[in-house]
Structure 1
C-alpha cells in the first residue's frame, strides 16, 4: 500500500476542531488541487466560496443544523456553476440552450470531483474535513446569504480545520458487495447481512449501547420519508432542469 492509498483509506469525518486558523496559502493550495480534478468537456462548472466570517459561519451552522460549520476554521461551499460558462459563451447564447438536465448533471459531477480532490489535499496537510450536505436543508436561505446567482446552486459544504479529535473509522460496505464484474450482480447483496453486524457493533461501541442498528435498518429509516422535497422547485428557480428549448418541464 502506498502513501496515497493509505491517506485515502484512512479518511474519517472530523467535527471537532482546534481554535487554530488555516492559512490563506493552504486554502489556495486546496482549491488548486480541487481544480486538478477531471472536468466534463473542460467546462469546469463549479465555484468554491470560502467562508471565514464568524457571523456567516454561524448562520450556515443554523441553516444546516451542523455545529461544526461554525467552529471550524473555514467552510468551503462547493457550488455547481453554469453561470460562468454561459457568460463566457456570450450574450447571444440563450440561457435555455444551456440550462438543461444534462448540464445539471455535468455541473454537479464536476463539483463533486473537485471537492473530493480538495478533501484529499486538506487531509494530506494534516487537516480534518467533513462534508456537509445539510446546507441544502434551508437552501434558499443559504442562497440568499451567500448571494448565489441564478444558474448556480450550493451542492454541499466542506468544513476544514485542525482536528481536535480522531474518530473511529466508520466501516464501509465490503468490496464484494460493491464490485460487480461484467454485469450487475444482485446476488452480491448477500454480503450485506455480515456488514449489518459490523455496523451494529460499530454503533454499539461508539454510543455505549444507545444505538445498535445495522446499515439496512439505518437506510430504511433514511428512505422512510422524502428528504428536501423542495429541491426540484428550487433547482428550476435557479435555472436548472429545463429542456433544451428552455421550457421548464412540468412536475
Structure 2
C-alpha cells in the first residue's frame, strides 16, 4: 500500500489536542486539498466558516452538546451548504429543490473528508462535529448565515494529544453488493458484533459492553432531529 492509502486506512477520530497551533501554510494547504475534491456539476455549493473568536468557540461547543474539544482544537471549521453566492449572481436560481440540498451536503462531505485526510497526512488529527445540528438555528444566528445557506457540521483539527485504537468497520461483504442488493447475512453481523464487543472491552478509554447492531438500531429507533427539515426550509432549501 502507498502512503495515501495508509493515511486513509489509519483514520481515528481525535478529540484531545495539544496547545500547538496549525501554521497558516498548513491550514491553507488543508483547505486547498479540500477544495480540490469533486463537485457536482462544478457548482461548488458550500462555504466553510473558520472560527477564531474564543467566545464563539465556547458558544459553539455548548450548542454542539458541550463538546469541549470544539474549544481546545487548534482549528474549528463549520461546513455549510451555500447557494447564496449563486443567488446573488442570478436571482433566477432555484435553491429550494431537495436535489440541490442533497448536492450541497454531498459536496460539503467530500470537501471535509479531503481536508481531514490532508490534515492526517501532516501528522494532525481531527473529528467531525455533527452536534452543531442539535441547535441549527442558534448556530446559524451566531455565524450570521444568510438565506440559502445552512449549517451542516463542524470539524476540529489540531495536533493529537491521544492515541486511540482503530475502530473496526463492518465486513466488506455486508457493505458491497454485486449487480443487485443482496439480503443481509446475519452471521456476518453476529461476528461483527463480537468484534466490536472485544474492541470496546480492550480499548484504553470509554470501555463498555456493547455490540454494534443493538446499539445502532436502538439509536435509529428514536427521533433523529425532527426539526432539521423546518430549519432547512426556513433557509429556502429542501422545499420541493
User: Structure 2 length normalisation: TM-score?
Assistant: 0.95
CA contact (8 A) 1:129 1:160 kept: yes
Q: Which residue of the partner structure matches residue 190 of structure 2?
A: 193
Report the Cα distance in structure 1 between the residues aligned to 2:206 and 2:101, rounded to whole angstroms.
42
Q: Which residue of the partner structure matches residue 76 of structure 2?
A: 75
Q: Which residue of the partner structure matches residue 149 of structure 1?
A: 146
Q: Which residue of the partner structure matches residue 181 of structure 2?
A: 184
Q: Does 1:45 align with 2:42?
A: no
1:206 Cα shift? 2.6
Change (3 A) 1:242 1:209: closer
Change (3 A) 1:148 1:179: same
Equivalent residues, number? 239
Report the Cα distance in structure 1 between the residues aligned to 2:197 and 2:191, rounded to whole angstroms.
10
Change (3 A) 1:2 1:189: farther
Per the alignment, in what secondary structure is the counterpart of residue 49 of structure 2? strand
1:142 Cα shift? 0.5
Q: Which residue of the partner structure matches residue 248 of structure 1?
A: none
Matches within 5 A, 1:44-123: 44-65=44-65, 66-88=67-89, 90-91=90-91, 93=92, 97-123=94-120
CA contact (8 A) 1:81 1:152 kept: yes
Q: Does 1:227 align with 2:224?
A: yes
Gaps of 5+ in 2: none
Gaps of 5+ in 1: 244-251
1:209 Cα shift? 8.8
Q: Does 1:30 align with 2:27?
A: no
C-alpha RMSD of the superposition: 1.5
Q: Does 1:128 align with 2:125?
A: yes
User: Structure 1 length normalisation: TM-score?
Assistant: 0.91
1:242 Cα shift? 1.8
Report the Cα distance in structure 2 between the residues aligned to 1:13 and 1:191, rounded to whole angstroms.
25
Report the Cα distance in structure 2 between the residues aligned to 1:138 and 1:57, rounded to whole angstroms.
15
1:188 Cα shift? 3.6
1:190 Cα shift? 3.4
Matches within 5 A, 1:235-250: 235-243=232-240
CA contact (8 A) 1:82 1:99 kept: no
